[in-house]
Amino acid sequence: MAYTLKHKLGFDDFMIYEKIDGVGGTWRTNTYPGVGCDVPTILYSFHFNLNPHWSKELCDGPEILQYMEDTVYKFDLRKHMHFSIECLGTAWNKGTSQWDVKFRDTRTKCEFTRSSTVFISTICGISYPRDVHFDGMEKFQGPMFHTARWDHSYDYKGKRMAIIGNGCSAAQVVPQWYHERPNHNFTKAETWSFRYLPLWERWKRLQLFLENDDLVATYVPGVKASKKRAAVEEHAKKYIFSRTPKKYHHFLIPDFPLGCKRRIFDPNYLDALNVSNLEVVPEGIREIDETGIVSENGTKDELDAIVLVTGFQVQQFLTPMEVYGKKGKSLNEQWKEHRGAQAYMGSYVHNFPNFAILFGPNTFPAHNSALFSCEVQIEYVARTLLAPLVDMKASIIEVKGTSENKWVNSIHGQLKGSVFQAGCLNWYINEHGRNAASWPGYASTYWKEALIPHPGAFVSKGGSKLWFLRRLSRWLRTTSSTTYSLAIILIGIGIWGRNVAFRDLLRRATAIMTERVTKLVSR
């Protein structure tokens, strides 16, 4: 967002407030052993800053964090960022037509307010660990922490540890205690090609995007999709059985269709299950006491430490922030009436003017880069909200309630019969049984939908009649030299085709230049 505001829209008057002490979000917060990307990192990168130096196909958290920090430095974005400042909430001020935003400095605990024309939430749904409660858990004497709050001071060598949860993060953290993550390290030749062959990395990225997007063909409703899904499930089943001890086979194959929970590409988790000092217990937890866990069948396991790998509060979009719209109602109250979070194009909510959410409801791609979805949304928000405000084409823009409901109904219609609704317990489905997270189809479809905005979906007010002059001046300022050169070449070709005198002039100029160059060379 910062890159788009500064370099694409040529707008400098913005601030980013971040509650932790630096950039990187997910990759600064999650530092557990084995944390890494589960989609190829060439795909998990910004379109405006491809990185030819990735060390391997699926990079680890620290390398991604370094890339994020380098991007901020390269595009001079740091001066727009305030760290260790938590946003507590905001309210639309009818008098000033601005957002009054409340913050707290997490170091000094000092609270303060700022006003802004636009408020954009980029806090993502995967940043607050999901709180879980087990009877007696407060009695446990040893350390107990969530993967997102990994206690690096704890030396777990030779200790008995329990991992509660068995999803994506568990699959990454478990094998770390035995092996390194199997991965393809890029060779020098590959890195050289990414660096020096024009468009090579971009081409690879496109291939990876299409390959990942193709996985969605097994998730959608219909006979063709179920046949494809059955074939992939069979293949996965064989793979699982070939890597794991027999004693686990009866519960390792899920009883729900592929894709109902996020698909995991094995980071060596299955091999780790063969290690003699690791035991998978397919049981719920009855209680936790001072020294361990009692499972539902009454068995007690004595433990030194417990790691909660229980995921994130994905459904609580924007919480714990409280956002009050133009009618004085909070976003959460409005969403409760709709049985969960919803937003037009995953970004805009009616009654909340000059407001947008990134990575909002129903924008999570099935198995593609989340950064791709975020970038599509950023481009969309830039065109539909930010550019008109910066150019003073309007001073207030809000999505219509009817447009929002129509769009959301269509998304839920498409989700019906998809694997995401197949009845398993997954983080896409909220407490009301509504899927407020998943994008129902291909990531490319989202991009296509965002490409041509529907101006009729919005109401706007205010602005200046001379807005087009501001837009022209902005275009002139932000257009790159490459675009200017291309435009001059195209204009030249256009004139060439129509005008004989101009063609003669160009020919003579080229002949003179060639003659001079030849003379210079022959000297």
Ligand X SMILES: Cc1cc2nc3c(=O)[nH]c(=O)nc-3n(C[C@H](O)[C@H](O)[C@H](O)COP(=O)(O)OP(=O)(O)OC[C@H]3O[C@@H](n4cnc5c(N)ncnc54)[C@H](O)[C@@H]3O)c2cc1C
Residues lying near ligand X in the complex (CB under 6 A) are found at 17-20, 25-26, 30, 35, 37-39, 44, 86-87, 122-124, 126-127, 169, 321, 358-359, 369-371, 374
> What does the block give as tokens for 489?
């070449």
Which residue's CB comes closest to ligand X?
25
User: What is the rounded CA–CA span in Å between residue 46 and residue 368?
Assistant: 14
Taking the least distance from each CB to ligand X, the nearer of 264 and 396 is: 264
| 52 SS3 class | coil
**CA 304 to CA 160: how far, in whole Å?**
5
Q: Which is nearer to ligand X, 39 or 436 (CB)?
A: 39
Specify the residue, 251 or 265, whose C-beta has the smaller distance to ligand X.
Answer: 265
Residue whose entry in the numeric block shows the structure tokens 């409901």 = 405
Question: Which residue number, 173 or 397, has a Cβ lying nearer to ligand X?
Answer: 173
State the nearest-atom distance from the C-beta of 151 to ligand X, in Å: 16
CA 49 – CA 198 distance, rounded (Å): 14
Asked if the bond preceding 221 is cis, omega within 30° of 0, the reply is: no
Q: What is the Cα–Cα distance from 60 to 36, expressed in whole angstroms?
A: 4
- The CB-of-131 to ligand X minimum distance in angstroms stands at 15
| Residue 316 in tokens | 């609580």
The least CB distance from residue 169 to ligand X, in Å, is 5
Please identify, using beta-carbon distances, which residue of 64 and 429 lies nearer to ligand X: 64
Shortest distance, position 59 Cβ to ligand X, whole Å: 9
Smallest separation (angstroms) from ligand X to the CB of 338: 22
Q: How far is the CB of 119 from ligand X (least distance, A)?
A: 12
- Cα 266 to chain centroid distance, Å, stands at 21
- Closer to ligand X by Cβ: residue 371 or 376: 371
Residue 363 identity: T
CB of 107 to ligand X, least distance (A): 14
Distance in angstroms (rounded) separating the CA atoms of residues 379 and 258: 32
Q: Which DSSP string corresponds to 434-474?
A: -B-SB--S-HHHHHHHHHS--GGGEEEE---TTHHHHHHHH
How far apart are CB 239 and ligand X at their closest, in Å?
20
Distance CA 495, CA 484 (A): 16
Tell me how far, at minimum, the Cβ of 203 lies from ligand X, in Å: 21
Dihedral angle over CA of 484, 489, 493, 496, nearest 10? 100
**458 φ, ψ to 5°?**
-120, 155
Q: How many CB atoms lie within 10 A of CB 19?
A: 16
Radius of gyration of the chain (CA): 27
Residue reference for tokens 């433990």 = 303
Nearer to ligand X, 35 or 394 (CB): 35
Q: Of 129 and 325, which has the nearer Cβ to ligand X?
A: 129
Q: In what helix (H) or strand (E) does residue 16 lie, and over which residues does it extend? A: strand 16-17
**Nearest to ligand X of 122, 418 (CB atom):** 122
